[in-house]
Amino acid sequence: MEDMIRIAVDGPSGAGKSTIAKAVAQRLGIDYIDTGAMYRAIGYKMLKKGINVDDLEGIQRLLDTTEIDFSKGDIILDGQVINDLIRTPEISKQASSCSAVGIVREKLVDLQQKMGGAKSVVMDGRDIGTVVFPDAEYKFFITASPEERAKRRYNELIEKGQKVNYDQVLADITDRDHNDSTREITPLRKAEDAIEVDTTNMTIEEVIEYICKEMK
């Protein structure tokens, strides 16, 4: 347990957190936990069940019967791999909305803390260094300009065969930035002791090298 490390990677939507965190975890030989995917999974299930974000009783019943796990790079919701199903603009909006619901955050933060309390992990999200693991051994805040983040997300969705409009992707990212940073419950913010990395003009490999160098 003395050798166990937690690496917190926070930042706004589309900054490349997941890609960076996953690569760093692979390089270090430790597990990667995509907390954003956990909120997307809840949002996806809420949409499927027709549960509104204002229906707290319905959300609680849903949470009581929900299992989320990670295996070999897949996120598994109630036994089903849902990787591509939760990577749509609609689910992004739903994830942002449900992440502002107290009982949802309480449930998922508890799961995240249990995961990071049992083994070394790289965990990315919006409140890892401030709420989930304020005592993490390493903290990084990954960001980029809204335009660059929109371009990356647009290209990602196009490669997956989805029909999207760049201006709409940019508007969605701007809206989510506002929602995430102004919500009452654990808003997006950089931890005071986190290292900020602006990836606007950096390649993925450059960011990975920078983070690994800082950790050394």
Q: Is residue 23 part of a domain?
A: yes
Q: Is residue 27 part of a domain?
A: yes
Q: Is residue 215 part of a domain?
A: no
Q: Is residue 185 part of a domain?
A: yes
Reported as a single tens digit per residue, the pLDDT across 90-119 is 998 899 899 889 999 999 999 999 989 888
CA dihedral 164, 10, 42, 32 (to 10 degrees): 100
Q: Is residue 156 part of a domain?
A: yes
What pLDDT was estimated at residue 1?
Answer: 43
Q: Is residue 68 part of a domain?
A: yes
C-alpha angle 25-73-150 in degrees, rounded to nearest 5: 80
CA-to-CA dists, residue 210 to 101, 152, 198, angstroms: 35, 20, 11
Annotated binding-site residue numbers for ATP: 11-19
Q: Is residue 39 part of a domain?
A: yes
Reported as a single tens digit per residue, the pLDDT across 110-168 is 999 998 988 899 999 889 999 999 999 999 999 999 999 999 999 988 998 888 999 99
- How many domains is the chain built from? 1
Annotated binding-site residue numbers: 11-19
What pLDDT was estimated at residue 212?
Answer: 93
What pLDDT was estimated at residue 54?
Answer: 94
Reported as a single tens digit per residue, the pLDDT across 11-69 is 998 898 989 999 999 999 998 998 989 999 999 999 999 999 999 999 999 999 999 98
Q: Is residue 216 part of a domain?
A: no
Res. 74: pLDDT tops 90: no
Res. 79: pLDDT tops 80: yes
> How many CB atoms are located within 10 Å of the residue 102 CB?
12
> What are the residues whose beta carbons fall under 8 Å from the beta carbon of 1, sequence distance 6 or more?
none
CATH number at residue 196: 3.40.50.300
Range of the structural domain that residue 10 is part of: 6-210
Per the structure block, which two tokens stand in for 167?
A: 């201006």
Per the structure block, which two tokens stand in for 105?
A: 């955050």
